[in-house]
Homo-oligomer: A and B are copies of this chain.
Amino acid sequence: MRTEMRLTGSGGQGLILAGIIFAEAALLDGNNSLQSQSYGPEARGGASKAEVIISKEEIDFPKVQVPNVLLSLTQVACDKYSSEIADDGIFIIDETVNVEDVKASVKLYRVPILKTAVEEVGKSIVANIVAIGFITELTGLVSKENVEAAILNRIPKGTEELNKKALEHGYKLALAVK
């Protein structure tokens, strides 16, 4: 009943915001959640990670140990953070990323997240929202209703339509692989 998610990529890709949105959506769904980012020597290399824990119960141990859901939007982040994933975990990488040696029990999805943000939505900056849509539709970890509410709480006014479009393209990408 505890799900751990790690979102990785480069510094400017909005993954902290994605983590905050998942954590708020989980709260609205009636769950407990915790969102964190840690900065240490490894954060100086251009890779960024944000973590979310979602649980029906109170979250006693606030650290992601072995993520059930892992996202890597860049090769650098993937190389740095993909060694830890649950045996039955879900591993989502951008189509520009290559991985080797993924455990056979892990479900791997290689998805055009960055390309969809640029070519279908028109802004690379919404890749994080495309990723949220993909993960939400694929996993059902948070409800669509509340992920939409959490996004509206957190994005700049005037960007509602852009973000809604990004989210729906994320849903579509997941429907295509489900």
Q: How many copies does the complex hold?
A: 2
Of the candidates B27, B40, B63, the one whose C-beta lies within 8 Å of that of A58 is B40
State whether B40 touches A32 (Cβ < 8 A): yes
- A12 vs chain B, min Cβ distance (A): 9
Residues of B within 8 A of A40 (CB): 27, 32-33, 58-59
State whether A33 touches B38 (Cβ < 8 A): yes
State whether A33 touches B27 (Cβ < 8 A): no
Main SS at interface, chain A: mixed
State whether B62 touches A38 (Cβ < 8 A): yes
A4 within 8 A of B: no
State whether B62 touches A37 (Cβ < 8 A): no
Given contacts A43-B27, A44-B27, A156-B156, contact A37 B34 (CB under 8 A): yes
Question: Which residues 1-33 in A have Cβ within 8 Å of B in the complex?
Answer: 16, 20, 23-24, 26-27, 32-33
A35 within 8 A of B: yes
Residues of B within 8 A of A59 (CB): 38, 40
> What per-residue 1/0 map shows which CB atoms of A60-92 lie under 8 Å from chain B?
001100000000000000000000000000000
